[in-house]
Structure 1
Amino acid sequence: MPSSPSSLLAVRGLRHVRGALTLRPAGDIWHKPALSAALVMAAADLTLLVLGRLDLVLYTSGGALCALYAHDRPYAERARVLAGVVLGMTAGVTAGLLCAALTGSGPLRVLLAALVAALQKAVCDATRLGPPANVVLTFVSSTAFFVPQRIGEVPAHAALTLGCGALAWLVCLAPALVRPCGPERIAVARALEAAARRVDGTGTSGAADDAAQAAHRALAKAGGRGAAARRHRETLALLLAEAERATDGAERLRAAARTLRRGTSLPDTAPDAAAPAAVRAPVAAPVPWAALLRLGARLTAGAALSGWTALGLGSPHPYWAVVTAAAVFQAGVRPSGHRAVQRVVGNVVGLLLFAVLLPLTRAGEIALVAVTVALLAGAEAFITRNYWLGTVCVTPMALLLGEFAGRQDAAVSVLDRGGDTLVGATVGLLACVLMSGRRRVSG
């Protein structure tokens, strides 16, 4: 007997959900952004604890979260990218605080928060910033639009974000003093590992080519002008050339990758290499400005409608609906649907985790700081497995940031956050479907 249309639809829906929630292997350098951001946030929170000003944690947290970015980039490029992230974070927070101080209109705040979210998405896509891209920026800046604020407080609060961002910049660049070529070594190690998987049949040629292109970009953008740095890059280029042309010797490729990851000395020349390989920078595809503008318009409409709907339903914190809608918007309807499922599931589980952790965090200020920092590290550890799993930690962390300014009604917070998540995911996805274009935007 043929299956009914409703049963086929149910099967497809289950496959969609399963695909959205499938876990991947953990990222190979997840600990670097996790530890960097946790260190900066812990330093800032403990300083505020000593000063008796934990109510200012929201502002320093924006700067601390900048430490999540650019860990896969050579240090010279990382310095430039992180500086841009810190300035962008500070600009978003400042815009939100100014709006909060100058207007009490909830609908206007939602609209401006949606416009800032769209701008952040467009800039991150245009610059190919990469994970966590615009989501963290939008989370912090959208929150700032709804923080009680007086105009005279804005400069000092924005300065806290900028100052903590500067500390994040220093922490993320500090490893350059010990392993100045570390990011390039990791990039080439990934290319060698991908080539080994291609050789032994456990990976694809496409994945190996992508890893090789990323390694070429890293080598082309690596800093260091001395003779030693130049020789190091030449050796890495030779190893990369071997990875690209290898047809056997998977274990030898993996051994070379392990050497790169351990940070031990490299041979003067790569095995079987007859001549140095040229380091070439792959040509980036042109930025699709028209597509970015369309995506920005859709995101603005979806985020604003989500926030207004949350306001209409009585939410005191509609920024979470704005953030959810902004997170849902991806390059296409299907990825947006996956992200909506991930966001809802992650938030629901995260709210349960918040309820479990709340008694511990209210045992004292030290416990509150420790749990918040641990959740930040956990979010970065898990988000490489799947976005929903990282959101399990992000959701209670976001709620606990509100606890620093004073105890909140836990039941109300959970209900508000859950409702705003459903509104943001539903309205954002609906807007994405209704206004979707066919062209892919992301790079």
Structure 2
Amino acid sequence: MTTAPHSTRTVNLEGAARAAIAGGVPLALLIGLGMPQYAAFAMFAGFTAIFGATEPYRQRAVTTGVAGALQVACMAAGIAVSLLGAPLWLQGTGLVVVLVVAVATLSALRTIPAQPIFPVFAFVVSALVPLRTGDLPLVATIILGSVAWAWLVAMSGAAFRRVLHPHAPHRFRPLADTKHRSLAVLGTSALWETIALNVVGALVAGTVAEVLPGLGHPYWAVIAVVSTLPALRQRHTVSRAVQRVVGTVGGTVVAVGILLLEPSAWWIVVIAVVGQFAAEIFVARNYAVCLLFLTPLALAVSWLSLPEAPGLLALDRIGQTLLGAVVSVVLLAVGRAVERRRGRALGATSSIRTV
């Protein structure tokens, strides 16, 4: 009997559906309970389900669990900074710690995505959400509950495969081989070069963004840098920075158009679910198209927690993304010069091209 071929049309649908459900359900629950100001925490927790999406389920359980713990730790650190008044020096110190821990953790796990964008995003926004000490029990419940839900959603495919795979194997994308992991990577110069590249880029972008007149939200410049710079053993390319700018500008225009219509909180839930689903579909195909969906998601959900004028939001988002892209390209040029001088590639700019 001939086995039906795997359908390429379903390659990304399974992971995209999990990501959308993982973030959408807690967000909808918060809206239903009248607590939209905590939406950002549910969104960051929901990102847990993205990690390890193609791994065998025993390994995925570890990957997703560690990634979820990392998201919780970064949100907790951001909340602590917020409760202490969010002084700039403390934000910078926290950012460095988050980058070191996130890059080391994700590199050891060999995760996809490998860049520390989601832990950094969780930290910098959590540090800005106004909270009081009395809010902590509720916020902790939201974060831990949302991460647990995301973990369960990420693992749910195991049950579906056990029941349905024997009857329609071509409807399920094949899982990747088990990854070999070793903590030995933590002692390599390549890892610490990758960490140094991210720390320098983030601090330079954040400092310039902070002193640049006329623009707010300096953390967007930081996020633009860490999402553009390569992970361990990936190659730093200008095209990644260009795609980041093009996708962000397009996505910002879409987001502003939506926010100017003053959508209800329930429409924001719809935007978040559709945006997360579509972003996962396109992330491996075209990063710019992915950002056309991911940017409205991020801006719309952040807007629930920190409402602002859409026009100013757009100006800051585009300006800070351009700044981050410039910093990233400058680091690319410096990295290439260092490589030529010493005759071998940096750990962060070796032979594998960044997608």
**TM more than 0.5:** yes
Which residue pairs with 2:191 in the alignment?
292
What's the CA shift for 1:416?
0.6
Which residue pairs with 2:315 in the alignment?
415
Rounded to whole Å, the distance in 2 between the matches of 1:416 and 1:281 is 42
Which residue pairs with 2:124 in the alignment?
142
The question of 1:370 aligning with 2:279 is answered no
Rounded to whole Å, the distance in 1 between the matches of 2:236 and 2:60 is 28
> Deviation digits for residues 135-192 of structure 1, max 9, x if unmatched?
222222222222223344345424322210100111121222231399xx8xxxxxxx
- Stretches of structure 1 that go unaligned for 5 or more consecutive residues are 1-25, 186-231, 233-257, 264-279
Do 1:372 and 1:400's aligned partners in 2 also have CA atoms closer than 8 Å?
yes
Rounded to whole Å, the distance in 2 between the matches of 1:282 and 1:359 is 46
Which residue pairs with 2:170 in the alignment?
261
- Stretches of structure 2 that go unaligned for 5 or more consecutive residues are 1-7, 340-344
Letter in 1 for 2:130: P
What's the CA shift for 1:27?
8.2
Which residue pairs with 1:301 in the alignment?
200
Rounded to whole Å, the distance in 2 between the matches of 1:85 and 1:27 is 28
Rounded to whole Å, the distance in 1 between the matches of 2:132 and 2:62 is 33
> Deviation digits for residues 213-244 of structure 1, max 9, x if unmatched?
xxxxxxxxxxxxxxxxxxx9xxxxxxxxxxxx
Q: What TM-score comes out, normalization by structure 1 length? A: 0.67
SS in 2 for 1:47: helix
Letter in 1 for 2:87: S
Rounded to whole Å, the distance in 1 between the matches of 2:318 and 2:249 is 7
Which residue pairs with 1:319 in the alignment?
219
Do 1:383 and 1:389's aligned partners in 2 also have CA atoms closer than 8 Å?
yes
Rounded to whole Å, the distance in 2 between the matches of 1:359 and 1:302 is 33
What's the CA shift for 1:432?
4.3
Distance 1:98 1:291, change over 3 A: same
Question: After the TM superposition, which residues 312-391 of structure 1 pair with which residues of structure 2 at under 5 Å, given as runs?
Answer: 312-314=211-213, 315-330=215-230, 335-360=236-261, 362-391=262-291
Sequence identity (%): 27
Greater C-alpha Rg: 1
SS in 2 for 1:404: helix
The question of 1:63 aligning with 2:6 is answered no
Given the alignment, which residue of 68, 83, 86 partners 2:65? 83
Rounded to whole Å, the distance in 2 between the matches of 1:380 and 1:282 is 22
SS in 2 for 1:179: helix
Do 1:117 and 1:300's aligned partners in 2 also have CA atoms closer than 8 Å?
yes
Aligned residues: 328
Do 2:205 and 2:323's aligned partners in 1 also have CA atoms closer than 8 Å?
yes
> Deviation digits for residues 343-392 of structure 1, max 9, x if unmatched?
111111111111232245x2322212211221111111121211121111
- RMSD over equivalenced CA pairs, Å: 2.9
Rounded to whole Å, the distance in 2 between the matches of 1:282 and 1:51 is 41
The question of 1:431 aligning with 2:331 is answered yes
Q: What TM-score comes out, normalization by structure 2 length? A: 0.82
What's the CA shift for 1:333?
9.3
Distance 1:113 1:424, change over 3 A: same
Distance 1:306 1:107, change over 3 A: farther
